[in-house]
Amino acid sequence: MNVYGEPWKVLYGSIMHMLVHKIMPLEDPQENVNVLWSHVKRLYKELNIPYKFSSLKMTMFSPKG
């Protein structure tokens, strides 16, 4: 992979961007975000995390466009 090409043009949340666009199995990145968020919420509950994000949105780590 060329680190100078897309998706490295914008480094905002590049780990999350790579995860939902390239690594996770579903074709639709938004569906991957939904799956990821369901896992995060499950872990919040299982681990009794006191301080939590209230949502996970694509715009948090991917540029609009």
pLDDT of residue 26: 94
Would residue 65 count as lying in a domain?
no
Buried b (16+ CB within 10 A) or exposed e, 41-59: eeeeeeeeeeeeeeebebe
Which structure tokens are listed for 60?
């948090």
Question: Could you list the residue range(s) of the whole structural domain that residue 55 is in?
Answer: 14-60
Would residue 5 count as lying in a domain?
no
Per the structure, the count of domains in the chain is 1
Q: Tens-digit pLDDT profile for the chain (65 aa)?
A: 445 555 545 555 678 888 898 999 999 999 999 999 999 999 999 999 998 888 888 777 776 64
pLDDT of residue 31: 95
pLDDT of residue 65: 45
Would residue 45 count as lying in a domain?
yes
